[in-house]
Structure 1
Amino acid sequence: MMGAGPDLKEEIITRGYECRTGEVVVTPGFALRCRHIIHTVSPKYVAKYHTAAETSLQNCYKNVLYKAGELGARSLALCIINSPRRNFPPDVAAHIALRTIRRYLEQNAQPRLVIASGACAAGAALLAALAPLYFPRAPHEADAARWRLAPDPAPDRRIRIIHNPHSQNSDSAEDDTSLCDEDAAVEAAAAFARACSPDTQRLLAPASRPAPYIDRRLLDDHEQYDRLLRRAKNEDLSEVSGIGCLYQSGVDRLGRPVVVFIGKWFPIGDIDLDKALLYLIKLLDPIVRGDYVIAYFHTLASSANHPPFSWLKEVYTVLPYKYKKNLKAFYIVHPTFWTKMMTWWFTTFMAPAIKAKVHNLPGVEYLYSVMARDQLEVPAFITEYDMTINGLHYFQPDTNNT
């Protein structure tokens, strides 16, 4: 970016731009012969967390391409985003770049693309060698692509666990029928895949403002819960399930189901809290018949993700005793000072029955003392943030005391 001149540095300092890994920021081109410069941050590659790194790199390319389309660019000079300092294997990075570009061009208008070498000439040579596999210009190149390119093990890098589609505690034929509804499962999976996209807010923007929240405090608690459970089974809750903020992720070392809640993916201003409560009941009702634990990730959550206390109090009140009794632990990962204070206040004055079950954890790996690594499925941005603040292998669980 040296060719843009000192105005670019002044623009960044003046406006206070902040760009996280995988995100993009647009600035004017200044002295360069372009209208805009699209900035992004490449992830670091760690073999143990290779899936998160590959997903972040794919998001870098995808966000740059989509941002260029939003700007109406007719041509785009796309440099190699990863660098040797980020420890990315050159062949893996090259396949990710070409595969992402190919998918984008298949689904969108095709601007003129020029891939520049930047500071990595070896990477540009590798791209040139692999390009005929993704963009064959002759029959023999197309044949070579068929047997040399393995299928992507994770199409679109979707998170695998999206819901609790199978429950061993189902007691009614009605539950079994609804769980075996293939069309509903496909629709839910597609909705959750959209939620995993970096364009979540744009894709899930509601067509109209949510309906006003219904106050049900005048109803009998038991009757109220039965009514809500019937509504949860019959109403269309894809608007909430598609966000992907609440799902079951395996079991802990004692065989208890683990329910995961992603705070950053809970948009208070764009969600119907009435339907959010219905989806919570629909997901948890078959789980809470036995012991269970909850893992809440406050990672990168803001004030726009904090539900009102009135709603939290109503949720705690309307849920039956089995929810509190069978809840064995409530883990809060990456809490802030505000989160700790509000949690203390809420559990002291509103929910004292679960106060002793709440545990604040500074990192994801502290959960490995109570559950195996392969049982925990969380979005890539959580593990990336965890590595930036805690580093690698900062906690070794003692499995003998669990």
Structure 2
Amino acid sequence: MRIKMNQEPLGVASDVVLPQQLTRWSNTQPPHFLTDYSSSGEQPAHNKPPFLLDHQINQKIILWNGDISALQVDAIVNSTNESMTESNPISDRIYQRAGSDLKEEINVDIRECRTGEAIVTRGHALPARYIIHTVGPKYNIKYQSASENTLHCCYRNVLQKTKELGLHSLGLCVINSVRRNYPPNEGAHIALRTVRRFLERYGNSIDTLIFVVDNTDFGIYEVLLPLYFPRSLMEQEASKWQLPADLGGEDGEPLLPDRQIRIIDNPQHTLHPDEESIDISTQLETSINIEHAFSQMQGDLDQQRLLGERPLNDPLADIMVKEIQHQERYERLLRRARTEDLTEVSGIGCLYQSGVDRLGRPVVVFVGKWFPFNKINLDKALLYLITLLDPIVRGDYVIAYFHTLTSSNNYPSFSWLKEVYNVLPYKYKKNLKAFYIVHPTFWTKMMSWWFTTFMAPAIKQKVHSLPGVEYLYAVMSPDQLEIPAFITEYDMTPLYKLILEEAYKFDDSLSFSR
């Protein structure tokens, strides 16, 4: 039977997911090995762990990759737009399952939801009693502080509504959206620290909080959750190095120390350094809906601007400067790439575009055997990579990396991979939809796991290991794929066939793309 939320359930539909069926964070196991940062010589960002091991809080947390509309909880979260008409996978499932009564309630009683707010409706035909709707911000580096603060308000307002309504279980989706250009890893940090701070203060009001994530975000949350919700003393200790230096205020809100409103008696005195300032944020009783970082302004910015100075200890300015420097560096490299002679790299033929996949996305091919890492000019290799990919990555694209018959001479170092990853702008990571590794070995699996776990969690769920070329044909037509003959010939060797048979025995998932 379908559970009506205005009635006591007499049973449970077959596709309804109960929280007790899911694994609590406290019952998951930390990895078998953790990096010992204390012996690395690297200075930690924090003198002591910001978030301590707390079994009671960990028992409330669940990380789950599934359909949020199937959860039988007190409330689920719907991330939408201001007119509450956005079409995205989560909203579409919620509206479809809730039925027409939800749309009627919104059209008649709600109509709109402003960015950063949280509005509650009934769950109607959903297993959940309520739906908490919220509107996440659009991300623009020029207004990064406003975006971060608004996203914090979204999560904080959702949690506050849960507390006000006396709800004890919540299915929380990822509110920040790649569609609005919000970097997923930065959004995850804000979500996790906001939830952690809330549970530290109001933990008795919530029994279960389920982070409901899709394939893309699962890898990010899997890596970041132990930093905010450590399961062991080792994870707690490692967080001193892995957590960012800025963890926000008491509620996890972004702190902008350069934005404290100053009230003075005489505007002519703005250049007098000894005058007093008043922080009006402590004098006002504000609701959770207007907890903006703009109410925490400090420092005489007018004086500093008039004198041509940049405020000291200005984290927002530092972030802006770093981002501008990063973009300028990329643009300088792009200009160099367009003017320098790169034939010694392009002539190798290890990197090129080869047609499109079945969704019309360009396919970039990388042949590992032809990449002479120990002999090639790495600076020119980076320039060639940029000049080839820059026009491609403006839209969705995929990469097919062939590890066939590579040797240690072809293996790039982690330091060089990190350098390349840090140089490339966000559009490279955002628009990459799949990274296929064909003919992987133990080395490639370990390298890709380490790299996507600790350096590039945003693309972790986009990496797929395929045992043969034929598995690519499920996502791209053979006539679109131009690859060297030795790669297809490798698939025909007896050894490869034996490996493939063994792979079938131990991994039934390989048949997904046949």
- TM-score by length of structure 1 reads 0.43
- TM-score by length of structure 2 reads 0.34
* Greater RCO (CA < 8 Å, at least 6 residues apart): 2
